[in-house]
Structure 1
Amino acid sequence: MTTAVHHPGAANPPNRPTTGPGRHRWLALAVLVLGVLLVAVDATVLSLAIPFISADLRPSGTQLLWIGDVYSFVLAGLLVSMGSLSDRIGRKRLLLCGAAGFGAASLVAAYAPGPGWLIAARAVLGVAGATVMPSTLSLIRSLFPDDRERATAIGIWGAAATAGAAAGPLVGGFLLEHFWWGSVFLINLPVMALLIGLGVRLLPESRDPRPGAWDLPGVLLSLTGIIGVVYAIKEAAVHGPLRPDVLATGLLGAAALVAFTRRQLRLPVPLLDVRLFKDRRFTAAVLGALLALVGLSGVLFFVSQYLQLVRGYSPMRSGLAELPAFAGAVVTGLLTGRLARLVGARGALSGGLLVMGLGLGALGWAGADTGYLLLGTAFLAIGAAEGLVYTLSTDLVLGSAPAPKAGAASAVSETAYELGAALGIALLGSVVTGLYRSGLVLPPGLGASTAEHARDSLGGAAEAAAELPQRTAGAVLESARHAFIHGMNIAALLAAVVLTAAAVGTWLLMRRPAADAADQTGSGR
């Protein structure tokens, strides 16, 4: 994406939207926040519904992981492509079309008759979400040409994104307490209708006057690369890494990503300007956001199952248990500017990653009867750190890139966020799945079908136990819960190591005179 630049002396540039009075700009921002809030909520709202989906649709362990993260993978794979498309057909137009598609896909997902249907619907939701996300930051840049106002607007946008992701379990818990699991998708419909109705009236249209050709081969290469590599990771966790189809898919995905990078370096107007990564400050911000989401989403996807299937919480109580994460994300997202001015952008970003690592590491000690004080403190630390890291990294990415490349930079930031969320579930989820399957000890005499269903997931074990005699069911559940907790603990500790390494790496990458000077002047907000 690129943003049209206003040249002094041009009376009414054709591609610069009329922002109108201040009140109009902030009302338009509210519409954009509504869109990003819903897309963010949808990335996590499903987590509490996983036990219900397992009981109703009976997915395999691999299908369960795809249900959880296919949305984020498709979203990440298409963000840059859709951002480039919005430059050509208009950001407002693509945003509103994507909102309509999001609503339609939500309706299909709510009434999916099987796991395959649900995975497909979630994939379409990812396509629609990819048309919504890139338009929001581009339109914010058009609506707020003043640096200070734009910084405030981005802070609100970032707080909405992180708070939305943190609020997903709370929203899901409320709905599941009163309705069936499909309601977590139907909630999208009235919100999307409101977004479209207000967006038609309040949002300006903008597009790039000279966008260049849309790189369709690049779109296909990036999507093939991401899906191929992730598929190989998932299958390797379940069936082993040496299976021919796993090796072939992984190599195909890696080759596609290499080809995509080489192609982008040759194009005069690339979908993704990989040269932006020559700036160490830019690279630090992008990697910080990506690795933060890897740790966060990978662990929290399974925490919701832990709260319900191990501790016996109701969906609503599980959502309330995760409420500190939501509160922390909102507060630090809005206070990011002050925190960055107080300790510098370098210190704030590195410190946020370290705090998140400590919070995730604390979950490595959670057991079946762990007191809530440890859990609540960990959730608060994780949410507060995520609000800080995401908002600050977004502002750093936009501030590090040259003005003509601000649109491309925003696409990279959004892609890192969604790709991190998806990779977290795939990588750490595969760790939990692998350790669960290897640690599960089933009593003798179980039928082959029952045993296989119990090995698929903790939800599958609970479903299988419901059809067994009481003594046998108790043995199955005890072993399944023990194996699941062990897998979750190891995944949480691995996430803590990743985030600690990310904190150190970010500190070192931003250690240069230009970055230090920017920190001292409060640059990067």
Structure 2
Amino acid sequence: MSATTETQTRTTASTNASQAVPASQAPAPRPSEPPDRRRWWTLAVLCLSLLVIVVDTTIVNVAIPTLASDLHVGSTALTWIVDAYTLVFAALLLPAGSLGDRFGRHHALAGGLLIFGAGSLGAALSTTATELIVWRGVMGIGAAFAMPATMAVLTATFTVPAERAKALGIWSAVSGLGVAIGPTAGGWLLQHYSWSAIFAVNLPIIAIALIAGHFLVPPSVAPHRPRLDPVGAVLATAGLGTLTYAIIQASDSGWGSTSTLVRFAAAAVLLAVFAASQLRSDHPMLDLGLFRNARFTSAAVAVMVLFFGLGGYTFVLTQIYQFILGYSPLGAGVRSLPAAVMIMVGAPLGTRVAARFGNRAAITTGMLTAAAGLAFFALASGDTGYAHYLIASAATSLGIGLTMAPAIETVMSSLPPAKTGIGSAVSNTTRNLGTVLGVAVIGSIAATTYTRTMPSGTAGSDSIGAAAAVAHHLPAPAAQALHTTASDAFVHGADLGVIATAAIVLITAVLTFRHLPGKH
């Protein structure tokens, strides 16, 4: 094939992808083969694999005090115990998704779970913080291969649009559920076992998923296997890894510090070089033309913004539950479960709304609901009780649930079959970056406002956790006074961060409504 013909072929494919009608809105095709009768069992295996990966993004957070005591480490090591997983996960998603398209998504899923299991075993047996950080990174490698493979296999398995939309709704509900139940599961395990249990618990789940997957997950390979793009893979890993690292470190170094600006500049350069390499390549790992598709880009941004909000408000809410309202880690986790239930309610509801009124209506409605929940959250004060946060988190989670399945379905239906693995990786990359950015930005606003609001020289003025620890050793009147002052300061900072997030979600909802096509 000549270079001109090849270019025209790629241009035609990109144009067709950008003009594709969402699967939930297109007439059902007539598949050449009847649907696999095992497909719903396949979905169960995919959801189990997804759940164990997503839970691990939050389950470690409740173990931080225990790890600090048992491993005798400071805040820097604790930060990396939490973030090593997220950093490696985010950095490898794009190349891992591309490799799945090339060599088989079912192989990527099984291999990713094996690596994740090995990392979990190593983490459970770790005796030092360094060992634990390394094994958490190994777990991130496994997650990067397995998570996009679950969505790509789902898309290939469910060929009937209505069923695919329903399956994506279930996948989305499990994805949101995993984020919410992590603290609850972690709190229960810590109450009954040592911290190693939060990693060891993964092993039987992975064993079940691997054995069941051998029989129930069908082979899934791109129709035309893409050629490898090693240069693009290295640049994508370096660029996304540097960007994620810059976001993680910005809270400690300061968003305007020289070191932070240098990290963001390095990330921008690496990602720009990656983009240039993809535009020049005759077999790009990521077709940047996809981002000219308003449906694809709008839906991906919607997912990113919502997980920005979810990650950020969950981060501050966990601290409010434990340090201000005084709940134990398990108690805080249990009180987060209603939010998880609302995500599970919202995901299938969003699918039904999309089927009747179109993806644009479902996504916009979900984002407006989430923005309202976040805005209500920001009305809290230092003496606000659990009921207020319950209503706010329930509304926010319902909005996220309503949005997730239609947004992901929009992203995946914009892609040709050969690119579902890399498309899933793009979706998950934006989601992960949104979560990391939400924790960093909202956490930074809350922490900075807290420090500036606390009276100078007050004990525990560096963090709400430190104030809670100091108050524990003071006489009752002094402890109550410190608790009141610290609570007012922290909740005020959290309100500022969350109301800013509500505004971002609201603006994104308006832009999404404008750029996504309506129901045809």
Larger deviation, residues 423-432 vs 375-384: 423-432
Amino acid at match of 1:502: T
Amino acid at match of 2:371: G
SS of 2:38 mapped into structure 1: helix
Residue 49 in 1 paired to residue 63 in 2? yes
Cα deviation, residue 506, structure 1: 0.9
Choose the corresponding residue for 1:201, options 193, 215, 220: 215
Q: Deviations over 1:369-416 (max 9, x none)?
A: 323321111121122111121111110112233455444333222222
Amino acid at match of 2:295: R
Cα distance in structure 2, aligned partners of 1:346 and 1:232: 33
TM-score normalised to the size of structure 1? Answer: 0.84
Cα deviation, residue 147, structure 1: 2.6
Cα distance in structure 1, aligned partners of 2:507 and 2:425: 25
Cα deviation, residue 52, structure 1: 3.8
Cα deviation, residue 118, structure 1: 4.0
Choose the corresponding residue for 2:147, options 125, 133, 143: 133
Counterpart of 1:335?
349
Choose the corresponding residue for 2:86, options 34, 47, 72: 72
SS of 2:221 mapped into structure 1: coil
Counterpart of 1:240?
254
Counterpart of 2:242?
228
Choose the corresponding residue for 1:487, options 484, 488, 493: 493
> Quick check: 1:72–1:419 contact (8 Å CA) kept in 2?
no
Larger deviation, residues 115-124 vs 55-64: 55-64
> Quick check: 1:36–1:136 contact (8 Å CA) kept in 2?
yes
Larger deviation, residues 355-364 vs 464-473: 464-473
> Quick check: 1:40–1:165 contact (8 Å CA) kept in 2?
yes
Cα deviation, residue 307, structure 1: 0.5
> Quick check: 1:47–1:305 contact (8 Å CA) kept in 2?
no
Which structure 2 residues correspond to residues 144-163 of structure 1 after superposition, within 5 A? 144-163=158-177
Cα distance in structure 2, aligned partners of 1:208 and 1:120: 33
Relative distance call for 1:91 and 1:232 in structure 2 (3 A) is closer
Choose the corresponding residue for 1:507, options 500, 508, 513: 513
Cα deviation, residue 238, structure 1: 2.9
> Quick check: 2:366–2:400 contact (8 Å CA) kept in 1?
yes
Cα distance in structure 1, aligned partners of 2:490 and 2:136: 25
> Quick check: 2:93–2:145 contact (8 Å CA) kept in 1?
yes
Q: Deviations over 1:63-101 (max 9, x none)?
A: 555444443343222112101112233222221121122
Relative distance call for 1:21 and 1:31 in structure 2 (3 A) is same
> Quick check: 1:364–1:492 contact (8 Å CA) kept in 2?
yes
Larger deviation, residues 297-306 vs 83-92: 83-92
Choose the corresponding residue for 2:389, options 375, 383, 389: 375
Counterpart of 1:11?
none
Which structure 2 residues correspond to residues 169-208 of structure 1 after superposition, within 5 A? 169-208=183-222
Choose the corresponding residue for 2:502, options 496, 501, 513: 496
Cα deviation, residue 242, structure 1: 5.3
Amino acid at match of 2:492: H
Cα distance in structure 2, aligned partners of 1:231 and 1:40: 20
> Quick check: 1:19–1:204 contact (8 Å CA) kept in 2?
no
Amino acid at match of 2:303: A
> Quick check: 2:95–2:237 contact (8 Å CA) kept in 1?
no
The percent of aligned pairs where both chains have the same amino acid is 36
Relative distance call for 1:339 and 1:59 in structure 2 (3 A) is farther
Cα deviation, residue 329, structure 1: 0.8
Amino acid at match of 2:433: L
Larger deviation, residues 73-82 vs 172-181: 172-181
Amino acid at match of 2:237: L
SS of 2:358 mapped into structure 1: helix
Counterpart of 1:288?
302
Cα deviation, residue 326, structure 1: 1.1
Cα distance in structure 2, aligned partners of 1:108 and 1:256: 32
Cα deviation, residue 191, structure 1: 0.5
Cα distance in structure 2, aligned partners of 1:232 and 1:345: 34
Which structure 2 residues correspond to residues 444-483 of structure 1 after superposition, within 5 A? 455=462, 457-463=463-469, 479-483=485-489
Cα distance in structure 1, aligned partners of 2:454 and 2:128: 26
> Quick check: 1:218–1:263 contact (8 Å CA) kept in 2?
yes
TM-score normalised to the size of structure 2? Answer: 0.85
Cα distance in structure 2, aligned partners of 1:418 and 1:191: 23
Cα distance in structure 2, aligned partners of 1:344 and 1:167: 30
> Quick check: 2:351–2:402 contact (8 Å CA) kept in 1?
no
Relative distance call for 1:133 and 1:240 in structure 2 (3 A) is closer
Larger deviation, residues 494-503 vs 483-492: 483-492
Relative distance call for 1:387 and 1:50 in structure 2 (3 A) is farther
Cα distance in structure 2, aligned partners of 1:276 and 1:29: 27
Amino acid at match of 1:28: T
Larger deviation, residues 64-73 vs 308-317: 64-73
Amino acid at match of 1:374: H
Counterpart of 2:285?
271
Cα distance in structure 1, aligned partners of 2:132 and 2:378: 31
Counterpart of 2:401?
387
Counterpart of 1:87?
101
Cα distance in structure 1, aligned partners of 2:352 and 2:81: 38
Q: Deviations over 1:400-433 (max 9, x none)?
A: 3345544433322222222212221222222233
Counterpart of 2:227?
213
Amino acid at match of 2:508: A
Cα deviation, residue 239, structure 1: 3.5
Amino acid at match of 2:180: A
SS of 1:365 mapped into structure 2: coil
Relative distance call for 1:397 and 1:242 in structure 2 (3 A) is closer
Counterpart of 1:325?
339
Residue correspondences, number = 490
Which structure 2 residues correspond to residues 394-405 of structure 1 after superposition, within 5 A? 394-405=408-419
Cα distance in structure 1, aligned partners of 2:441 and 2:305: 12
Counterpart of 1:13?
none
Cα distance in structure 1, aligned partners of 2:485 and 2:289: 51
SS of 1:492 mapped into structure 2: helix
Amino acid at match of 2:231: P
SS of 1:44 mapped into structure 2: coil
